[in-house]
Amino acid sequence: MHETPPLLLRREALTQGWSDDELARALRTGELSRVRRGAYAHEVPAGERHTLLVQATVAQLRRAAVVSHQSAAVLLGLPLWNVPLDRVHVTRTPGAGTHRSSVLCCHVARLRDDEVVEVSGIRVTNAARTLLDLARSLPHELSVVALDAALHRGVLSAEQLRARLFDVVGSPGSRAAARAVAFADGRSESVGESRSRVALARWKLPVPELQFEVRSPAGLLVARTDFAWPEDRLVGEFDGRVKYGRLLRPGETAGDAVHREKLREDAVRAEGWGVVRWGWSDLEAPHRLAARLRRARERARLSV
């Protein structure tokens, strides 16, 4: 978990000599920001705000609970994309009731002792259970992004994840979790690549090979591509702005990286491969992306 500025609870602030007027003034001037009612922090970066919300909420719980779902993912440092972080998610054992308020979402489920770890003094579901809970509760695309990224980073293996599926069998969303786990692939290296895989599957495009190496007749590596359909001699590349940042070499500008990418694409085409590129905007209209890829595959087949 990333280090965060210390959380200031109102009850502690009052014992330290603050008054409510001083707290209100600090909020108006921006010296403090409100994490939730009765909990404040100094200049909280957006990425750390949920951690502080978790700390503030857990400190005020009247009944024991284990932090879970996306809140556990944040504390464990697991990657998330487009997942709501407005509420703290916790899990209590059967006998408790589900509960949802403006800041808290309480789930009810059985947790084994080995599914719970401690992070900075807070009881949290472990990585495998957290990812499975996300896969049960999030839309398929969002859960695949989280699973792909965790597998890519080596947080756990696909075999470990599949082995833990029996822990959620029969619970709400367990079939969705099994589907997401079966689809997850650690070879996806970015959110864009994971979302692309989901889009291609939904529009029934043939399953591409990932991180495919295009080689010359002599066996020399020409390029490693995001996606490939070798039977059509067609490769696909997801172009996200961040990709060019990752490609920058010491002293290079983004323009240098783009030019180098163009030369790389020219080299791929020179080996008789077609190239299709897409970006974030294309993922918002996946039916059009699917149509482009079908046309590209048809052209590639005709040119072989």
Q: Give the C-alpha separation, 163 to 128, whole Å.
A: 10
Has residue 96 got a pLDDT over 90? no
Q: Give the C-alpha separation, 213 to 199, whole Å.
A: 23
* pLDDT tier, 300 (very low <50, low <70, confident <90, very high otherwise): confident
Q: What is the pLDDT of residue 245?
A: 47
* pLDDT tier, 76 (very low <50, low <70, confident <90, very high otherwise): very high
Has residue 160 got a pLDDT over 60? yes
Phi, psi values for residue 237, rounded to 5°: -130, 130
144 contact partners, CB below 8 Å, separation of at least 6: 180, 183, 184, 194, 195, 197, 198
* Residue 26 vs residue 146, higher pLDDT: 146
* Residue 35 vs residue 76, higher pLDDT: 76
Q: What is the pLDDT of residue 242?
A: 45
Confidence (pTM): 0.80
Lowest mean pLDDT among 3-17, 142-156, 289-303: 3-17
Alpha helices in the chain (DSSP H): 10-15, 20-29, 46-59, 69-76, 127-137, 140-152, 158-163, 174-183, 191-202, 241-247, 254-270, 280-283, 286-303
Q: What is the pLDDT of residue 2?
A: 40
Q: What is the pLDDT of residue 252?
A: 63
- State the chain's mean pLDDT as an integer: 88
Has residue 135 got a pLDDT over 90? yes
Q: What is the pLDDT of residue 4?
A: 45
